[in-house]
Amino acid sequence: MNAQKKLIIIDDDPNYVDGIKSVLETANYSVDVAYNPKDGFKALQTKRYDLLLLDIMMGRGAEGVALARKIRKDPLLRELPVLIITGIREQIAFLFPGQPVHPHFVELDELLEKPVEPKLLLEKVSSLLKMAEEKKS
Amino acid sequence: MVDALSFSSEVSNLMYASHGDPITNCLQCGTCSGTCPAVEFMDHTPRQIIGMIRADLKEEVLASNTYWTCASCYNCTVRCPAEIDIADMMYALKRYSMWKGTFQEGLIGPAFSEAFVKMIVNSGRSFEPLLAATYLPRFNASDIIQEGLMATGLVLSGKMPLLPKRIKGLKKFQQMVRRIIPIGEPS
């Protein structure tokens, strides 16, 4: 029951990935990384993961969104909980006012904005994992 | 899955959708630089930028004005014997520098892009007089007069409206954009 949970980060920013990877590994998660959506999707198809941490702005634009939609259409991956971590509102060089609108890309997902506090990151990860488990049982 | 990611891999990831990792095919023949109409305004020629990316000179590449000076005419892309989409590479660097806020100060390109994206996302269409206002302050007096004359000509010949036109169903359009990308509430 208490087996180590396997997470995967798909994010193109190596510095950011280093940061959250070490936070998650310290909290005893096993963490894989893919630096572009294509490698990421390949990894998702070849290995089973408990949670995906997904960036939005990669490659030619909002490719994280395209990947999330692909996951939603895949019967094997549909149930995978996804934590979207994005700096999109800042990355397109200006902040849009108000709270980010969370479009709910997949059945079980949460949205966090960069920069993420380690404590908040771990809270969101464990609550998503819990929700996914409750849903399964 | 790689452990440490080099700058050239980062750039190749940005171009992933088009060509995998094309930059490594560069022969350094200089055809891109020779054919570039904007090269005289660039800190580094396109050939030099490709060489610098391959040498992982991240800071030097990002500090250069080259990729924001690119006019996207695609001469380099069409003529490259190694079939590298150099104009696309310039766009990749533009994206990278916008996402990380690491471009040279005082450039018109980033301010223009910001104004353009904001305008499209909020109103659904481009309105040139307002766009021009974002970069005019960076021009000198004679450039402003020249731009003014051109704008007057465009308005008089009916090619540029004086007032912005509203699109139909603007609210729906704004909702649609926000369903696709998680930006903030419409202003």
Instruction: Dihedral sign for Cα A56, A116, B113, B165, please.
Output: positive
- Is the CB of A57 inside 8 Å of chain B's CB atoms? yes
Give the number of domains in chain B: 2
Same domain, yes or no, for B112 and B96? no
Q: At what angle do helices B46-54 and B86-100 cross, to 10 degrees?
A: 60
Same domain, yes or no, for B11 and B69? yes
What does the radius of gyration of chain A's CA atoms come to, in whole angstroms? Answer: 14
Domain of B56, CATH number, reads 1.10.1060.10
Q: What pLDDT, on the 0 to 100 scale, is given for residue B170?
A: 92
A39 and B1 in contact (C-beta within 8 Å)? yes
Question: Å from B43 to nearest chain A CA?
Answer: 23
Residue A1 lies in a domain: no
Do the Cβ atoms of A93 and B10 come within 8 Å? no
Question: Å from A113 to nearest chain B CA?
Answer: 10
Per-position DSSP letters for B82-101, written without gaps between them: T---HHHHHHHHHHHHHHHT
The SS3 assignment for A24 reads helix
Domain boundary among B65, B84, B100: B100
For residue B187, which of A110, A94, A91 has the smallest C-alpha distance?
A94
Residue A131 lies in a domain: yes
Q: pTM of this prediction?
A: 0.83
DSSP state for residue B24 in the 8-state scheme:
G
pLDDT at A2 over 70: no
Residue B187 lies in a domain: no
Per-residue CA distances from A62 to A33, A71, B104 (Å): 19, 15, 24
Domain of A66, CATH number, reads 3.40.50.2300
Span B75-85, pLDDT tens digits: 999 999 998 99
Residue B160 lies in a domain: yes
Residue A97 lies in a domain: no
Q: Which of A39, A88, A100 sits opposite B1 (nearest CB)?
A: A39
- Is the CB of B95 inside 8 Å of chain A's CB atoms? yes
Residue B185 lies in a domain: no
Same domain, yes or no, for B28 and B60? yes
**Is residue B115 very low, low, confident or very high in pLDDT (cuts 50, 70, 90)?**
confident
Residue A96 lies in a domain: no
Same domain, yes or no, for B174 and B127? yes
Same domain, yes or no, for B14 and B81? yes
- Is the CB of B80 inside 8 Å of chain A's CB atoms? no
The whole-angstrom separation of Cα B123 and Cα A125 is: 37
**Is residue A96 very low, low, confident or very high in pLDDT (cuts 50, 70, 90)?**
low
A128 and A51 in contact (C-beta within 8 Å)? yes
Give the number of domains in chain A: 1
The identity of residue A118, as a single letter, is: P
The whole-angstrom separation of Cα A91 and Cα B96 is: 9
Span B49-101, pLDDT tens digits: 999 999 999 999 999 999 999 999 999 999 999 989 999 999 999 989 988 88
> B65 is in which domain, residue-wise?
7-100
Q: At what angle do helices A14-26 and A118-136 cross, to 10 degrees?
A: 70
ipTM of predicted assembly, 2 dp: 0.78
DSSP state for residue B56 in the 8-state scheme:
T
Q: Which single residue is written with the structure tokens 């022969």? A: B27
Residue A68 lies in a domain: yes
Q: What pLDDT, on the 0 to 100 scale, is given for residue B1?
A: 45
Structure tokens belonging to residue B70: 């690119």
pLDDT at B18 over 60: no
Residue A47 lies in a domain: yes
Same domain, yes or no, for B12 and B67? yes
In B, minimum Cα distance to A85 occurs at B182
> A112 is in which domain, residue-wise?
6-89+103-136
Q: Mean per-residue pLDDT for B145-172?
A: 90
Q: Give chain B positions within 8 Å (CB) of A31.
A: none
Q: Mean per-residue pLDDT for B103-107?
A: 86
Same domain, yes or no, for B64 and B88? yes
Q: Which of B9, B118, B181 sits opposite A88 (nearest CB)?
A: B181
Domain boundary among B100, B123, B144: B100
For residue A56, which of A98, A29, A16, A26 has the smallest C-alpha distance?
A16
**Is residue A27 very low, low, confident or very high in pLDDT (cuts 50, 70, 90)?**
very high
Domain boundary among B100, B121, B152: B100
The whole-angstrom separation of Cα B165 and Cα B160 is: 11
Do the Cβ atoms of A99 and B184 come within 8 Å? yes
In A, minimum Cα distance to B11 occurs at A59
